[in-house]
A = this chain, B = another copy of it.
Amino acid sequence: MDPHIRFTSTRLADGRELVYVDDSEPYVSGAATRRLDDPRPLRDRFAPVPGPDGMTVPVVGPQMRRDPLTGDWIPMATHRMDRTFLPAADACPLCPAKPGAAYSDGEIPDTDYDVAVFENRFPALLQVPGHEAGGDGTTLVDDEPLWQARPAAGRCEVVVFSSDHDASFADLSPRRARTIVDTWAQRTQALSALPGVEQVFCFENRGREIGVTLPHPHGQIYALPYVTPRTQAMLGQAAAHRERTGRSLLRDVLDAERRAGTRVVLESTHWTAYVPAAARWPVEVHLAPHRDVPDLPALDDDERDDLAVTYLELLRRLDRFFVDPVSGASIPLPYIAGWHQAVVGPGRDLGRLHLQVFSVLRAPGKLKYLAGVESGMAAWISDTTPERIAARLQELGSQEVGSGGARPREAGA
């Protein structure tokens, strides 16, 4: 952890946690005159609500049900139906409060911040005190043993990457990117310790094309009370590979990609980015550390500094991937970037940290839609080849002054 970074935990008016993460003067934690409290008249999230007969009803939180056909848990976040959808820029809930304003519509009471993390106001997963996930909380829908239900008792956090409404992750300085890496690591550690949490997923959705409702640069963290289907599939493959070879699947994949070289996009001291040999998305890159580490908290200082620089270079190349055929201008890529980390419980030893960045844009103005084959059968068809995506990303690196395809440190510095 960078010693210059300070974490300051506060509470919003409804009891949600908000953590300021500051990497530069004036630190929030040392500024007694700045407003850290939330002036909004929000009611306590967990206070009992008035019932129809005048009695109060305790808050129980969202439920999740197990789909007997697939075995997947499906959280049912019915209250999210009413969530904020593309508000005007002057009502952005992620912008800092205006100095001197008596009341703020935003989620962040302070008038400035570097990075901020807070619990989502419309969470898909919520730990209500007394309703933590676990064996005890299991019930049956309609008394049928086929249909198990449990509290969807996890946590959903929002990570605000910058106080600048119009920035994007790729615009940040390596210093700020490093602060975000430390934030992901600190939150992963904190959320993994919550009762019932089995997996922590840090991710960013960027772009209206994939439904991002707030343009202000931000990511999300889900602390899940179950292991997701993709992670389950990866654990199954990794266990079979270890059984067969005695080795780590994710390590062997990284080594094979570096050996083949054709799909390697970036290689720094501690990290390699490559288009995987069986990429399924129109644009897809994986970024993995050279050392075997289970998750972000396990990265050392050098690896984190290197990651900040390497990831920025990768994002900047992705933003040059597609060019408008008329204007010749680059098209900022709508993307999803997600960190695959080792799970908290059984199978933790099979995990190996890696980032997956991918896009649904297959050409300027053309999206890959997830229709019958993908959404109905979970079967992916690629419209390109991994080698073609890699060649384009390699070529984009060499356009930068001072940057070779395999030398991201100079390019990003």
Contacts and interface: CB of A to CB of B under 8 A. Distances in A.
Interface of A: 65-78, 80-81, 85, 124, 141-142, 144, 146-147, 201, 203-205, 210-212, 220, 222, 224, 228-231, 233-234, 236-237, 241, 249-250, 252-253, 256, 259-260, 262, 276-280, 336-338, 356, 358, 360, 362-363, 366-373, 375-385, 388
A74 B76 CA distance: 31
Given A203-B372, A233-B71, A371-B211, A81 B362 contact: yes
B383 A77 contact: yes
A254 B76 CA distance: 22
Nearest to A262: B142
B253 A373 contact: no
10 contacts: A70-B234, A71-B236, A74-B279, A144-B256, A146-B256, A203-B373, A205-B372, A211-B371, A220-B372, A233-B378
Interface class of chain A by DSSP? mixed
A80 B379 contact: no
Contacts of A124: 373, 381
A230 B360 CA distance: 21
Number of copies of this kind of chain in the complex: 2
Contacts of A278: 65-68, 72, 74, 141, 147
A318 to B, nearest CB: 16
Given A383-B78, A384-B81, A367 B211 contact: yes
Contacts of A376: 201, 203, 230, 336, 338, 356, 358
A99 B13 CA distance: 72
Nearest to A231: B377
